[in-house]
Amino acid sequence: MSMTEPVPEQRTDASRPPPPPRRLSRSLWPAISRRLRLLYFRARHVRARFGEGCDIRPGLSLNMGEDATVIFGSRCVLDRDMTVECSGSLEVGGGTIFGHHCTLAARESVVIGNDCLIAEMVSIRDHDHRFDLGLDTPVRDQGFDCRPVRIGSNVWLGCKVTVVKGISIGDNAVVGANSVVTHDVPANAVAVGAPARVVRYRVPPE
Ligand SMILES: CC(C)(COP(=O)(O)OP(=O)(O)OC[C@H]1O[C@@H](n2cnc3c(N)ncnc32)[C@H](O)[C@@H]1OP(=O)(O)O)[C@@H](O)C(=O)NCCC(=O)NCCS
């Protein structure tokens, strides 16, 4: 800048116009829409229980049988396009997060603990179609083989994990992406693969 050019006027804080008021969409709207979605799902599925602060994203498909119990604890997140089918009992502890397109299917019992991280497209079912009644009966007409599934607290299931009937996964376990869990996973274990095998423990086993 040459010495002859005028020096631009310095504006002090006092001379600045006040900032515009924060827009509703940037501040309150996410919380309001979360609350409205929770109220909507509570009203629509009066027999299911969703705890305070649950964040139910669009596209949840919830099908409950007549005597089914469905309980999600407080502050659970059900990301978009999740499917829940329950003709038995499904209980999920508080603070557990489900990624998009997860499937939970309980004909008998599925229990998931607190503060789990269930990544996208995970499938957890407590039953299989039976296929032992011969070849003349279509598999779809052979009924179901059901065994309860138990998943502890603070468990992380990577994306696209499949948990089949009768499985227990202990607290703090981690299961790698794309794994198929066909055997129990102990507490604190890291298991990967199809079928999932324990590759190490997060802390040395006692
Ligand atoms: C399971 C996981 C956490 C392990 O990470 P890590 O502790 O860094 O483990 P490593 O990379 O050292 O892997 C240990 C062994 O398991 C194998 N492995 C790791 N993840 C695997 C998986 N998902 N499937 C099959 N094998 C796997 C590795 O190849 C390695 O085998 P090697 O010793 O023969 O080479 C990670 O691999 C994973 O799957 N993350 C999930 C990511 C995801 O889905 N995120 C969703 C967002 S919530």
Ligand 1 atom 40 nearest Cα: 176
Does residue 56 fall inside a structural domain?
Answer: yes
What pLDDT, in 10s, does the model give residues 103-154?
A: 999 999 999 999 999 999 999 999 999 999 999 999 999 999 999 999 999 9
CA angle, corner 45, sides to 73 and 151, nearest 5? 35
- Residue 54 and residue 38 in contact, taking contact as beta carbons nearer than 8 Å: yes
If pLDDT is split at 50, 70 and 90, which confidence band does 18 have? Answer: confident
Q: In a 3-state reduction of DSSP, which class is residue 33?
A: helix
Residue with the larger pLDDT of the pair 24 and 4: 24
Q: Which residues pair with 72 in a beta bridge?
A: 50, 92
Query: Which residue is associated with the tokens 């007549």?
Result: 66
Q: Closest ligand 1 atom, CA of 117?
A: 48
| Three state DSSP letters for 117-177 | EECCCCEEECEEECCCCCCCCCHHHCCEEECCEEECCCCEECCCCEECCCCEECCCCEECC
**pLDDT of res. 3:** 47
Positions annotated as catalytic residues are 129
Does residue 18 fall inside a structural domain?
Answer: no
Give how many domains the chain has, as a whole number. 1
Ligand 1: centre distance to CA 119 (Å): 14
Residue with the larger pLDDT of the pair 113 and 17: 113
Ligand 1: centre distance to CA 44 (Å): 40
Ligand 1: centre distance to CA 197 (Å): 11
Q: Indicate if the pLDDT at residue 29 is higher than 90.
A: no
Does residue 131 fall inside a structural domain?
Answer: yes
**pLDDT of res. 151:** 98
**pLDDT of res. 23:** 62
What pLDDT, in 10s, does the model give residues 69-106?
A: 999 999 999 999 999 999 999 999 999 999 999 999 99
Does residue 149 fall inside a structural domain?
Answer: yes
Give me the domain span that covers residue 120: 27-201
- Give mean pLDDT, residues 7-26: 64
Does residue 139 fall inside a structural domain?
Answer: yes
What pLDDT, in 10s, does the model give residues 35-71?
A: 999 999 999 999 999 999 999 999 999 999 999 999 9
Of 90, 158, 73, 171, nearest to 126 (Cα)?
90
Q: Indicate if the pLDDT at residue 2 is higher than 60.
A: no
Q: Closest ligand 1 atom, CA of 120?
A: 46
If pLDDT is split at 50, 70 and 90, which confidence band does 14 have? Answer: low
Q: Any residues with Cβ below 6 Å from ligand 1, and which?
A: 117, 119, 158-159, 174, 176-179, 190, 192-193, 199
**pLDDT of res. 50:** 97
Does residue 95 fall inside a structural domain?
Answer: yes
Q: Closest ligand 1 atom, CA of 200?
A: 14
Give the CATH number for residue 81: 2.160.10.10
